[in-house]
Each structure stands twice: as structure tokens, then as C-alpha cells.
Amino acid sequence: MEPKRLYRSRRQRMICGVCGGVAEYFNIDPTLIRLAMVLFGFTGTGILAYFVAAVIIPDEL
């Protein structure tokens, strides 16, 4: 069995596909991840974490 890999999503993409990729990895609705990111984004570090993840996480094949 092939291990699960985290990728930025091409299908569930709004900005960079990070939230969609995380949602696909955990098999949950991308809207829940996006809402969590918005709440986390109010701290200021959430925005930085999103863009760092967009650079580090590879695009879906």
C-alpha cells in the first residue's frame, strides 16, 4: 500500500491549493479547513504559515 502524501490540490484550489490539499489528505470538507485558516489568519501568523506551506508543499501530480 502506498503511503498518503500531502500535496497542494489542483481541484479544490482557491488561492494556492493548500487548504484543499490538507482537506484531501485528511478526507474532510475543504470548507472546514478554509474556515479554520481564516480564524487562524486573524493571529497574523496564520497568513505567514499559509504562504510558507504554499512554498513547501509540492503541487499535485
Domain that holds residue 25: 1-61
Q: How far is CA 17 from CA 1, 2, 8, 55, in A?
A: 25, 22, 5, 11
d(CA 39, CA 32): 11
Total domain count, the chain:
1
pLDDT surpassing 80 at residue 40: yes
- DSSP string over 3-33: PP---B-SSS-SSSSHHHHHHHHHTS-HHHH
Predicted confidence at residue 9, as pLDDT, reads 85
pLDDT in tens, 1-32: 778 888 888 888 888 889 999 999 999 999 99
C-alpha gyration radius of the chain: 11
Full-model pTM: 0.81
Predicted confidence at residue 12, as pLDDT, reads 81
